[in-house]
Amino acid sequence: QVQLVESGGGLVQPGGSLRLSCAASGSIFSINVMYWFRQAPGKQRGLVASITRGGSTNYADSVKGRFTISRDNAKNTTYLQMNSLKPEDTAVYYCNAMISDLQGYGRSYWGQGTQVTVSS
């Protein structure tokens, strides 16, 4: 069984920083693309950033220059460094990954989400 567990959310003032982590565990053969999504109250879940196994990254326009996604393939972990946070960044942040298990079966997995609140 494969699972993703996020950590690092919390309350931060505008202009502050947070670092989210997402660790995959279980019967993992390989992890392809890893993603961070977010969902604010009353809004649809949207893509924040993605990173391939080789390290190629992509960002939503709203976070370019402020957020940085990275990953440690040896630890099956992805990170989201969030700087210059704004109140509009307040949301539940979810990790997602395309994972192949030891039986060779691949599918998308979601973490449980971590709350990020930006407020003074």
Q: What percent of the chain has pLDDT over 70?
A: 100
In this predicted structure, which of 17-26, 73-82, 103-112 has the lowest mean pLDDT? 103-112
75-88: per-residue pLDDT in tens?
Answer: 999 999 999 999 99
d(CA 18, CA 9): 7
Order of all β-strands in the sheet with 67-72: 3-7, 18-25, 77-82, 67-72
Instruction: Determine the 3-state secondary structure of 2 from DSSP.
Output: coil
